[in-house]
Amino acid sequence: MGLALSYLRVPPVVEGESDPARIAAALFGAPGGRNVHALDLGGDWQVLHWALTGDAWEGQQPEADVVCGGRLLTEDGADATGADVIYLAPERVKAAAAYLDDLGFAALQGRLDVAAMRAAGVQDADVPDPAARLRPACAHLSDFFRAAAGEGQAVFKVLRNRP
C-alpha cells in the first residue's frame, strides 16, 4: 500500500474551454498519439522529495514545488475523490524547471540517507539502490517540467492510494 503521485501538464488553452473533446485533445493529444502531458512517479515521489528538500513533506521553493509544493485544491478531498490534487501555477513550474535543470541528478545521490529517511517516515525509504531507481524518474521529471515551462503550462499533481 502507500501513495502514488502522477503529474498532468495543463495547457493554457484549456481555461474557459467548454467542449470536452477539445479539452481532451489539448490534454492528451491526438488519438493514437503519444501522451507527453502526463507523468507517473508511482511510489518514488516521497524519496525524490526528500532528496530535493531534506524533508518528507515541506521545503523551500522552488525545490519543494517539484513534488509536494503548490496549492492543495482538495482540502479533505481525498475522502471524496480518493486523491489529493495540487495545482502548481505556470510561474512556479518555470522556477521548478530551472531548478531541476541546474541541479542534475549527481547532486541528489549524496542526499539519499536511508536511515534519515526511515526516521522521517519517508515512504519506500528502504527500496534497494534508491539512486539507480530515482535516476530515470528524475530525468523524466526534468523533461516534463522543462516542456511544461516552455509552453507556459500549469501542472496538476494527483496523490492517490496505490494498490
Q: For 69-89, how does the pLDDT look when each residue is reduced to its tens digit (9 = 90+)?
A: 999 888 765 556 678 889 999
| DSSP letters spanning 111-162 | T--HHHHHHTT-TTTT-SSHHHHHHHHHHHHHHHHHHHHHTT-EEEEEEEE-
Residue position matching grid coordinates 535516476: 135
Sketch out the chain's domains with CATH numbers: 3-161 (3.40.1760.10)
Mean of per-residue pLDDT scores for the chain:
85
pLDDT digits (tens, 9 = 90+) for 104-138: 888 888 888 889 999 999 998 888 888 888 899 89
Compute CA distances 126 → 47, 65, 80, 118, 134, whole Å. 10, 24, 31, 7, 13
State the pTM of this model. Answer: 0.85
Cβ–Cβ < 8 Å for 126, 144 = no
pLDDT digits (tens, 9 = 90+) for 136-162: 989 999 999 999 999 999 999 999 888
